[in-house]
């Protein structure tokens, strides 16, 4: 049994319904919104072709994770993995529409041929040349269409809870997938040497000659470090949910860094007391030189709407900003059974 708490308090004191998530990939649709500064386009298919050294493509993918597609695009475009940019990791077990950038200076005449080759693997929804590589978190947001199956619970109660979600929002927890199976990423985090992590972060995980080490531990250590930071935030947020202060206007929680938190007064005391209960994680931040930051405690989905497709099937449509999680807001109401995990376990068995 894991030593880590991986299920935190809900805003309503408990979940009032249950449902199956990702019964098929089409039950979880994600559409990335990206506004190009040169054209003002938000990713529509008739985007201005633009100009620049980076060819940006919006692809639709099913069954492939973001990093795999990025590596394949690098191979097809005959460029380095580093030369492929994207704004965020999207779920493999879903229908996802996502932008990628390929560094291809002086290759404009070959774009049409490359796009044709890529379209054999993934539908190309839009293309535009831009001056800069796409980077993490640069997208404007993500649109979701999520269908829950085998929903149990009273429809009127669920409708009231969804209305409350639209008006107030939900606790802005980091999703459990960040922490690994059973909190495995946290188990690894407590064994990291923070001084070593700091040296690796400054070197960018590169070896001799400035080349990135294939299979180096640097990126994994950053993953474990991020998991620790996220878990501490969730613990503070859980305390704020329990005392009812999470939804106060402008309320934020700590993304722990060197020196701990930027909060002051009673809030600082609360946050430091909570983090001190897990010294193995708190010690990671002693010499990392990572600046403490703040994250909103509440997430309020934009343009939330829903319709009942059948007695036990519910479709929800909404938009979230970067760094916000669809499963987080749904888990505030529903006990979710992720069917993609069940399929994965069957395949592994």
| Sequential pLDDT tens for the chain (349 residues) | 678 999 999 999 999 999 999 999 999 999 999 987 544 445 443 444 678 999 999 999 999 999 999 999 999 999 999 999 999 999 899 999 999 999 999 999 999 999 999 999 999 999 999 999 999 988 999 999 999 999 999 999 999 999 999 999 999 999 988 999 999 999 999 998 776 665 554 444 444 344 444 344 666 788 899 999 999 999 999 999 999 999 999 999 999 998 899 999 999 999 999 999 999 999 888 777 789 999 999 999 999 999 999 999 999 999 999 989 999 999 999 999 999 986 554 444 4
Instruction: Report all structural domains of the chain as residue ranges with CATH numbers, in order of start.
Output: 19-26+141-168+300-348 (3.30.2350.20), 35-130 (3.30.2350.20), 173-296 (3.30.2340.10)
Q: Residue 180 carries which DSSP code?
A: -
Quote the tokens at residue 180: 């690994």
Identify the pLDDT of residue 285.
87
Cβ count within 10 A of residue 77: 22
**β-pair type (298-299, 170-171):** antiparallel
Q: Does the annotation mark 91 as catalytic?
A: yes
How far apart CA 59 and CA 69 sit, in angstroms, is 10
Q: DSSP letter at 204? A: T
Active-site option among 42, 91, 187, 217 = 91
Supply φ then ψ for residue 34, to 5 degrees.
-135, 125
Question: What is the pTM assigned to this prediction?
Answer: 0.87
Place of tokens 């947020």: 237
Q: List the structure tokens of 72.
A: 């394949």
Q: Which residue(s) pair with 99 in the sheet?
A: 58
């Amino acid at each position: 049994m894991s030593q880590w708490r991986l299920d935190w308090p809900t805003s309503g004191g408990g979940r009032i319904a249950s449902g199956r998530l990702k019964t098929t990939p089409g039950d979880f649709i994600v559409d990335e919104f990206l506004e190009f500064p040169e054209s003002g386009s938000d990713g529509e298919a008739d985007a201005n072709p633009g100009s620049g050294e980076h060819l940006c493509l919006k692809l639709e993918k099913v069954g492939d994770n973001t990093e795999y597609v990025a590596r394949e695009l690098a191979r097809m475009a005959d460029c380095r993995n580093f030369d492929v940019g994207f704004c965020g990791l999207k779920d493999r077990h879903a229908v996802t529409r996502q932008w990628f950038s390929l560094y291809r200076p002086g290759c404009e005449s070959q774009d049409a041929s490359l796009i044709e080759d890529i379209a054999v693997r993934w539908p190309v929804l839009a293309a535009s040349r831009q001056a800069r590589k796409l980077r993490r978190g640069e997208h404007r947001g993500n649109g979701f269409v999520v269908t829950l199956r085998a929903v149990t619970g009273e429809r009127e109660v669920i409708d009231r809870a969804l209305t409350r979600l639209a008006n107030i929002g939900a606790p802005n927890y980091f999703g459990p997938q960040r922490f690994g199976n059973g909190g495995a990423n946290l188990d690894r985090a407590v064994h990291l040497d923070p001084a070593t992590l700091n040296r690796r972060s400054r070197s960018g995980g590169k070896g001799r000659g400035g080349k990135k080490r294939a299979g180096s531990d640097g990126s994994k250590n950053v993953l474990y470090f991020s998991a620790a930071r996220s878990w501490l935030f969730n613990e503070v947020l859980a305390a704020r949910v329990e005392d009812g202060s999470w939804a106060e206007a402008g309320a934020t929680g700590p993304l722990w860094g060197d020196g701990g938190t930027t909060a002051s007064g009673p809030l600082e005391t609360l946050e430091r007391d909570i983090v001190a209960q897990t010294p193995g994680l708190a010690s990671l931040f002693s010499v990392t030189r990572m600046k403490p930051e703040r994250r909103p405690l509440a997430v309020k989905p934009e343009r939330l709407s829903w319709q009942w497709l059948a007695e036990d099937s519910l479709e929800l449509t909404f938009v979230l900003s970067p760094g916000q999680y669809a499963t987080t807001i749904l888990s505030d109401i529903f006990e979710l059974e992720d069917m993609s995990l069940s399929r994965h376990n069957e395949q592994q068995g």
